Amino acid sequence: MDGKKALIASSLRKEPVSVTRKMAAALPELRRLAAGKGLKIHHLGAGYPHPEVTDPRGFLEHKTLYFEHLTKTASDTKLGIIPEYLRESYAYTDTLGPVSVRKNFARVYGADWEFPMKPENLIPTIGASGGINLMCSLFERPGVEIAYITDAPTYAGFITRAQLANQTNIYSVDMDSEGPIIEQLICQIESARSNGRLVPFYYTIPDGHNPGGFSFSAKRRNEIIEVMRNYDILILEDAPYVYISYAEENERPRPFVALDPSRTVHLFTGSKIGFPGPRVGFLYTEANIEISDEEIVPLRDLLLTESSSDILFHNPEALYAFESMLHDENMEPLPSLWPVAREKQIIYSENRNIIMQGLSDGLGKFPERYSWTIPQAGFFTVFRFHDSKIVTDDVFVNWLVSEYGIVVIPMFDFYPEDARLRNPQAGLSELRLSFCFSESFGDDRRRDLADSIKAFCDAILRI
Ligand SMILES: Cc1ncc(COP(=O)(O)O)c(C=O)c1O
């Protein structure tokens, strides 16, 4: 402290670091150890988009052409003044962002998921993370005790955000192969309410669950909606992977927002279908909410005020650049986002097949010893040991890196605290394997991934 007195802020706490961040921090040293032994690093841990589908150069060219198109077609240009998009891109704008961006997005998203999406109900966010933050901060603001209902396991970023507020507790719900267990969902809501807590929403990732490695069945989605209607609770639907889907077109389950937009707060992000860097996201809801004095107001209005005092407004240039993705090479509006996702889907679906095939070839003979989830969307599968003597803790995953160069993420940290109290073994027989990232392209990518999953299976068989 150099003899200087520190500022006293005894009400602040140091929050635990998430498992993915811990792994990222430990990786350089583990890599060094692995390299010292002449081992190749096998990436089955990182949840990042693949560099093969996130080369920004094509996007930048398209964006430039789109901006030229906007300049040519803008009526202001004809008058010799700065085109509207350019002026707005570098100015203070509305918290809602440019109207045209929301109109274009609502048109394609509504068409893809078959519901009439209203542009005025879209609020730009800093990725899906910004949407999570906005919802949490809105409900935390009055200072009452809160219960967030979520799955066990759930997204690490949500746990981290939820834990920031002293007055919040997570009430988690175990899942089976179709989604959260309905009886437990009901029990958790009732228990939170009987403990005097406000239950504003149930947070989930129904498509390509991170880290669950599966998608909820259509039946379970309807059952969840039924519960949420009965208890008057919102569904906070985090949807980064809806377009990274491996299901046949007619078998894609509909997201909650399409099933009941008045019960759902839907978080779209451009991070997986486009690029994470520009931090483009949208929150969408048609929900109304009863506030003080029994007044009923659109939730969107409250969130908009929250957002305006938080980020004030999203980077307008990034939003216009996102708008360019909603147009084809002739600058005609695209009817759907599926063509935008296509290139990504091809790569991730190839990667997924390599991982599924590798696991089945290497370990499929031992269903009594191991199992894994079959992802219908997203980046992950959960691998399970049936032998309770194997404990997939930090020591175990560090050993996989240092002995075999294999990077995977342990699951236990994705289980909220209450889930680990219910079952102290929660997640300690599971690993999250990701198939989204490698350092190589094309045939090298395919070969590296096949090598990685083979190395993983070999290491597991040696345990
Ligand atoms: C479930 C989930 N939510 C949110 C995010 C963060 O997304 P964004 O980049 O849009 O903030 C991720 C990223 O991996 C995720 O898996």
- In ligand 1, the atom with minimum distance to the C-alpha of 130 is 11
Cα–Cα dist 123/169, whole Å: 27
**Does the Cβ of 280 fall within 6 Å of ligand 1?**
no
- How large is the average pLDDT for residues 85-106? 95
Q: Which of 19, 150, 158, 210 to mutate to test the pocket of ligand 1 (most atoms within 8 A of CB)?
A: 210
Q: What CATH number belongs to 83-325?
A: 3.40.640.10
Which pLDDT score is estimated for 78? 63
Task: Output the pLDDT for position 77.
Answer: 63
Confidence grade of residue 76 (pLDDT, cut at 50, 70, 90): low
- Specify whether the CB–CB gap between 224 and 179 falls below 8 A: yes
> How much is the pLDDT for 8?
78
How many A from CA of 243 to the centre of ligand 1?
14
Residue percentage of the chain with pLDDT more than 70: 97
The average pLDDT across 421-425 equals 97
Q: Ligand 1: which atom is nearest the Cα of residue 379?
A: 16
| Ligand 1, atom 7: closest residue by C-alpha | 128
What's CA 365's distance to the chain center, in Å?
A: 33
Where residue 395 falls (left for φ over 0; alpha for ψ -120 to 50; beta otherwise) is: alpha
The model's pTM is 0.95
Measuring CA to CA, which residue among 412, 378, 418 is closest to residue 393?
A: 412
Q: What would the pLDDT profile of 226-281 be if each residue is shown by its tens digit?
A: 999 999 999 999 999 999 999 999 999 999 999 999 999 999 999 999 999 999 99
Asked if pLDDT for residue 2 goes beyond 90, the answer is no
Give the pairing type, strands 234-238 and 430-434: unpaired
Give the model's pLDDT for residue 24: 73
What fold is seen in the domain 19-53+341-462? Aspartate Aminotransferase, domain 1 (3.90.1150)
Question: Could you give the strand order of the β-sheet that contains 201-204, starting from the edge strand earlier in sequence?
Answer: 122-126, 280-285, 264-269, 234-238, 201-204, 146-152, 168-176, 179-180
Task: Decide whether any atom of ligand 1 lies within 6 Å of the 155 Cβ.
Answer: yes
Calpha distance 451→311 (Å, rounded): 44
Amino acid letter for position 154: T
Local confidence band at 30 (pLDDT 50, 70, 90 cut-offs): confident
pLDDT at 97 over 90: yes
194 CA distance to ligand 1 middle (Å): 32
pLDDT confidence of 323, banded at 50, 70, 90?
very high
The verdict on the CB of residue 47 being under 6 Å from ligand 1 is yes
Q: Give the residue whose CA is nearest to atom 12 of ligand 1.
A: 240
Q: Looking at residue 81, what is its pLDDT? A: 82
pLDDT tens digit string along 59-75?
999 999 999 999 988 87
CA distances from 255 to 125, 191, 267, 282 (A): 19, 27, 11, 15
Residue 208 has pLDDT above 60, yes or no: yes
Domain coordinates of the chain in residue numbers? 19-53+341-462, 83-325
The pLDDT of 22-47, averaged and rounded, is 81
124 lines ligand 1 (CB under 6 A): no
- The first and second tokens of residue 402, run together, are 């240092």
Sequence-ordered list of residues with C-beta below 8 angstroms from that of 205, at least 6 positions apart, any chain: 151, 154, 155, 212, 237, 238, 239, 240, 241
Classify each residue of 355-369 as buried b or exposed e, where b means 16 or more C-beta atoms within 10 Å of its C-beta: bbebbeebbeeeeee
- CA atoms in the 13 A half-sphere facing the CB of 214: 18
Ligand 1 pocket residue status of 269, Cβ below 6 Å: yes
Higher pLDDT, 239 or 83: 239
Confidence of residue 34 (pLDDT cuts 50, 70, 90): confident
| Ligand 1 centroid – CA 128 distance (Å) | 6
Closest by CA to 235, choosing from 212, 267, 269, is 267
Ligand 1 neighbourhood includes 127 CB (under 6 angstroms): yes
Ligand 1 pocket mutation, candidates 155, 160, 207, 216, criterion most atoms within 8 A of CB: 155
For the chain, what is the mean pLDDT?
93
Tell me the two tokens of residue 336.
């759907």
Res 1 pLDDT > 60: no
pLDDT of residue 29: 78
At 158 the pLDDT is 97
Answer yes or no: is the C-beta of 276 below 6 A from any ligand 1 atom: yes
Structure tokens of 171? 């009430």
Q: Check pLDDT > 80 for residue 79.
A: no
Q: Is 206 in the pocket of ligand 1 (CB under 6 A)?
A: no
Q: β-strands 370-372, 296-298: how paired?
A: unpaired
Q: Can you tell me the distance from the alpha carbon of 40 to that of 46, in angstroms, rounded to the nearest whole number?
A: 16
How confident is the model at residue 270, as a pLDDT? 96
Ligand 1 within 6 A of CB of 253: no
Tell me, using a 6 A CB cutoff, whether residue 240 lines ligand 1.
yes
